[in-house]
Chains A and B, each alone.
Chain A
Amino acid sequence: MGIWIEENAKVLVQGITGKQGMFHADKMVEYGTNIVGGCTPGKGGQTVDLQGKKFPVWNSMFEAIEATDADATVIYVPPPFAGEAIMEAADAFDQIKGEGVVVCITEGIPTLDMVKAVAFVENRPGVRLIGPNCPGIITPGENGGAKIGIMPGHIHAKGRIGIVSKSGTLTYEAVAQTMSIGEGQSTCVGIGGDPINGTGFIDCLAAFQADSQTEAIVMIGEIGGNAEEEAAAWAKENVTKPIVGFVAGATAPPGKRMGHAGAIISGGKGTAVEKFAAFEAADIACAKDPSEIGAVLLEALKKAGLRNE
């Protein structure tokens, strides 16, 4: 199980002939992801070599999905073309299958392009957009699994903890923390740090709550916006599984962008203090330091009677 992406999900790579696309496609195949080919307009009919195997390239996402019945696509297209790549994938999944998962890794997409793309995807309810500017999504399996993105596969193991995060490397940190207490992951989702993105915290919490493999959830937020507050309020009403939370940016000065375009404290709104308070009000167990996530998680699992004292 895991959420949205099964271990053996069929995955396409948009921008597979580019430097980034090919590098990460190779890493995904190495991990065990069921890559079924890719899409680069103008290069249809070619093949690319990944881990000593040949993979087909199509000119369009319509052709690629028709030919492979893919479940998901991952986008490594440069920023000027990424907004349209999202819409092409969403349109093709919607028309051909009525569903599909679109994972966009690209960083630096113009905001108004994303405003358009997100509205376009939201008009196609069977299609899920993850990102942009994110590490992707991974559902570890017994042998390999589905790694769709740029995260280091080898730090993961199949297990019962769901992880959702705005940050890339901080997600890896959370993964390492679960491993430090002998827990693996059901699915890890990086939702990205941009102000305008697809899948949000609440989507992930709802899916983890419904997923039979997931026993507990780690949620990593960042300063900026109010997605964490809304997710906490929603979780209080709707999530029965234990949640462990952390928010990065307690020391960030107001008005300054901290790397991620979305990470800005907005006139007293979106601070880490507020977000931690919202977490606590929703009975989310907070780690004040990412190195504590493992210990806090173990405590939460024990408290819920899911692990022995």
Chain B
Amino acid sequence: MMNDRDNAAAQFKGVLWLASDSDTMNIHEYQGKALFKAHGVNVLNGVHCTTVDDALNAYDSLQSKVVAVKSQIHAGGRGKGNLYRPNSDELVMEGGVKIAFSREDVKTYAANILGQVLVTKQTGQEGKIVNHLYVESGCDIAHEYYLALLVDREHKSVLIMASTEGGMDIEEVAEETPELLHKVNVDPNVGLMGYQIRDLGLALGLSGASHKSFGKMLRSLYNLFVKEDCAMVEINPLVRTADDDMVALDAKVSFDENAEFRHKNWDDLRDLSEEEDVEIRAKETGLSYVKLDGNIGCLVNGAGLAMATMDVIKLYGGEPANFLDVGGGANEEQVKTAFSIILEDPNVKGILVNIFGGIMRCDIIARGVIAATEALDLDVPLVVRLAGTNVVEGKAILADSTLNIHPADDLAEGAQKIVELIGGGA
């Protein structure tokens, strides 16, 4: 059994990752802060910029001796990240968040950030191009805290986490000093209660004006979280200023994609350059696609079966090139789109189709497969495994075609065949 401490750390990591997965929509810090401001959460004055001139104008207008020049990408660890010239390993600057003490500093930093690639521990090696900057006033910091709100799947509620150990890697705090991470679960049908806010403030060692300021901020944040259908709001650091005000120095906000229908403004907040082009196109046609590194393309109905198909390919020595779920009621057109998306990946050396027909009929899938392979001039081996509704008709259609389609009766046979046909593992 895990002890409480390990358990707390593991749980913390779990929820944090859950909130940053791809069924949520991330927005930039500058957008998050605009949202904060609109909901009455204290932030510093700042300006969103896309050019060096913008940044200089922002500096002039902010009238602050010190400003922060902050790269805007959908990934954490910006401050400790490095900027590289695109398509090279030439280091331009260390640190994606810079403190500027002069107009000249702002110019240098903005020029070193915009258009360059920022690599942080969350972006992967390829990094992300920085197209947006946020130039923000400075403030006198007395202490840095951590505050986050997110959906807790274990307790089926909104979880609030706060810590006195702000400004650092909170996963480390969770692992090494979990007693410094304070948690409150909110009953969704009651809402956040006064005592919960007071207790959390006290746990952070706040009193007087800062305790009051924290209470007002947390209530606003909870209302924002619920009203805006957030998956996560994370502020690291949340700071207490020299005059005992609580101010959000960072803003990491992500929304629950399922709630998009009631938030028409999300379209304006979405930064498509941050999302995988092919995954967006798949989604538009009702397909769920995730690219992987192997060479066997998979086309499956149902998420669980799609994962199992990938697993079995691996079990028989192959490497899956993708996860692709065509959903419960795919038509011929969707099957065709699915094939073309799979074939865009130059690594694909063969395709395994695995369909267990429920609502979806095998004869329709068989026709879709034939139409797609003809239209796309498929030149890699194709193994098709059909089961379930109208399987006899489906198999007959495939057998009657003149195309080179290899049938399989079950998943294991299908996986073995495709691995064999492409000449072994990846």
- Interface status of B323 (Cβ within 8 A of chain A): yes
Interface residues of B in 285-324 (CB under 8 A from A): 288, 290, 292, 300-308, 310-315, 320, 323
A255 to B261, CA, bound (A): 25
A79 to B258, CA, bound (A): 8
Q: Is the CB of B387 within 8 A of A110?
A: no
- Interface status of B38 (Cβ within 8 A of chain A): no
Q: Is the CB of B312 within 8 A of A291?
A: yes
Q: Is the CB of B229 within 8 A of A259?
A: no
- Interface status of B31 (Cβ within 8 A of chain A): no
Interface residues of B in 110-163 (CB under 8 A from A): 151, 153-154, 156-158
- Interface status of A296 (Cβ within 8 A of chain B): no
A292 to B413, CA, bound (A): 11
Interface string of A231-274 (1 = CB under 8 A from B): 00000000000000010111111111111111111111110100
- Interface status of B328 (Cβ within 8 A of chain A): yes
From A68-76, A160-168, A207-215, the one touching the partner chain is A160-168
A264 to B14, CA, bound (A): 10
Q: For the complex formed, measure the closest distance between the CB of A291 and the CB atoms of chain B, giving whole angstroms.
A: 4
A266 to B151, CA, bound (A): 14
Q: Is the CB of B188 within 8 A of A112?
A: yes
Known contacts A222-B307, A257-B23; decide if A172 and B231 are in contact (CB<8 Å).
no
Residue of A nearest to B157 (CB): A115
Q: Which residues of B contact A220 (CB under 8 A)?
A: 304
Residue tally, chain A, CB below 8 Å to B: 68
Q: Which residues of A contact B261 (CB under 8 A)?
A: 79-80
- Interface status of A150 (Cβ within 8 A of chain B): yes
Interface string of A111-150 (1 = CB under 8 A from B): 1110110111001000000000001000000000000001
Q: For the complex formed, measure the closest distance between the CB of B356 and the CB atoms of chain A, giving whole angstroms.
A: 4
Residue of B nearest to A27 (CB): B359
Q: Is the interface of A mostly helix, strand, loop or mixed?
A: loop
Known contacts A173-B308, A222-B304; decide if A251 and B14 are in contact (CB<8 Å).
no
A168 to B359, CA, bound (A): 11
Q: Is the CB of A251 within 8 A of B292?
A: yes
Q: Which residues of B contact A303 (CB under 8 A)?
A: none
- Chain A CB within 10 Å, residue with most, of B15, B188, B314: B188
Q: Which residues of B contact A249 (CB under 8 A)?
A: 307, 311
Q: Is the CB of A291 within 8 A of B151?
A: no
- Interface status of B189 (Cβ within 8 A of chain A): yes
Q: Is the CB of B302 within 8 A of A167?
A: yes
| A residues in contact (CB < 8 Å) with B | 79-80, 108-113, 115-116, 118-120, 123, 135, 150-152, 154-155, 165-173, 176, 193, 195-196, 220, 222-223, 225-226, 246, 248-270, 272, 288-292
- Could you jot down 26 A-B contacts, CB within 8 Å? A110-B258, A112-B158, A115-B158, A135-B358, A152-B357, A167-B308, A169-B301, A195-B18, A251-B292, A251-B320, A252-B323, A254-B17, A255-B20, A257-B23, A258-B290, A259-B325, A260-B303, A266-B14, A266-B15, A267-B171, A288-B315, A289-B308, A289-B311, A290-B411, A291-B412, A292-B412
